[in-house]
Amino acid sequence: MPLFNVYPLYNVTPVSGKGVSVYDEEGTEYLDFYGGHAVISIGHSHPKYVEAVSEQVAKLGFYSNAIQNPLQNELADKLEAFSDCKDYELFLCNSGAEANENALKLASFKTGKSRVVAFKNGFHGRTSAAVAATDNSNIIAPINAQQKVTILELNDVLGVKAELEKGDVCAVIVEFIQGVGGLDQGTAEFFEQVDALCKLNNTFFIADEVQSGYGRSGKFFAFQHYKVTPDVISIAKGMGNGFPVGGVLIHPDIEAKFGMLGTTFGGNHLACAAGLAVLNTLEEENLIENVNKVSEYFISEAKKIQQIKNIKGRGLMLGLEFDFEVAELRKKLIYEHHIFTGGASNKKLIRILPPLTVTTAHIDAFFVALKSALLNL
């Protein structure tokens, strides 16, 4: 049976990984500065991660949410303590899109409203309401387009105010650092005013931290760079370091009811073991501190390259913008220099999303390769 052909693929076949590198079937090493879409947080095949997942699957990999699972409580408590998100409650699911679907569903349940405000170049998933809130008409089918979504320009406070005052908006959903859209960020004034407007108009403020969360921005969550209190926080990607896991942090003002949300696989034993291994490693190895140190070094080195016109993002969620489309440059980096990087809807931008264990030596290797690739374009 052929695979349904929806992914344009590079001709590289990784078969193993360790730390910041992956290896193909011939043993060629590739420096991973993309982390599989920002998924690899603590490095490929981290020993403590491998041990935790292996031990758990040998005991019990899965049972449904019809029974007690103390690992869920352990994960929730650890997440609360390390993220400093006090008093939120945790619902576990399997992916970022699913997390955003549940965040939007909660907003509609709580407010009794159905319209969503989202922002230009935003990306929130490829399913149902999440894709409707994504600014890409190419991936929105007619069934998705039935959702009521208004797309505004980032930083348009007056636009947000006007829409919320119409009284039918259940949620404003925002990435504090845009991922696929190209690393744009709103201003502190914008985020803080939107938070206030949501609270004034019985509207949920949803922080989509699927890509920017778990330390990647230099704080545990990107919204923590601002004075805001989201009603709901959606998480995934780096949460499981490659294991499919997602979640929604829910403000205590929202009362849970049986059947309100649900999932077969969410919060299974194996997912919780993976999630706990990630949190423990982030803490024990001071990886958020490393993010800030390495990010500062990366930015200082990037500023030395004349062809780089703009450096976007923060932490280890960065973008290098050029004055030309970068598809050929990324191919050179992969095939000639064996370095993975990411693309964006901004065709002139390379996304940099390495594991949070990356070192300044890895950064040096990247820039040596980038300079060489630029010379030979």
Quickly state the pLDDT bin for 206 (edges 50, 70, 90).
very high
Question: How far does Cα 234 stand from its chain's mean position?
Answer: 9
Give me the pLDDT at residue 253, please.
86
Q: Where are the CATH 3.40.640.10 domain residues in the chain?
A: 48-284
pLDDT at 202 exceeding the cut of 90: yes
Q: Where are the CATH 3.90.1150.10 domain residues in the chain?
A: 14-46+286-375
The per-residue pLDDT of the chain, averaged, comes to 96
- The residue-averaged pLDDT of 201-216 equals 97
**Model pLDDT for residues 104-135, shown as the tens digit of each residue:** 999 999 999 999 999 999 999 999 999 999 99
pLDDT at 376 exceeding the cut of 90: no
Beta strand 149-152 with 317-321 is unpaired
φ, ψ (nearest 5 deg) of residue 97: -60, -45
Q: Say if CB 170 and CB 164 are below 8 A apart.
A: no
97: CB partners within 8 A, 6+ apart:
124, 125, 126, 127, 130, 131
Give me the pLDDT at residue 223, please.
98
pLDDT at 377 exceeding the cut of 90: no
Give the integer Cα–Cα distance in Å for 8 and 125.
18
Q: Is the dihedral of CA 83, 88, 90, 96 positive or negative?
A: negative
φ, ψ (nearest 5 deg) of residue 29: -90, 135
CATH of 14-46+286-375, one of 3.90.45.10, 3.90.1150.10, 3.40.50.2300, 3.40.800.10: 3.90.1150.10
φ, ψ (nearest 5 deg) of residue 118: -135, -175
pLDDT at 256 exceeding the cut of 90: yes
Q: Tell which CATH architecture fits domain 48-284.
A: 3-Layer(aba) Sandwich (3.40)
Rounded to two decimals, the pTM is 0.96
Give me the pLDDT at residue 354, please.
98
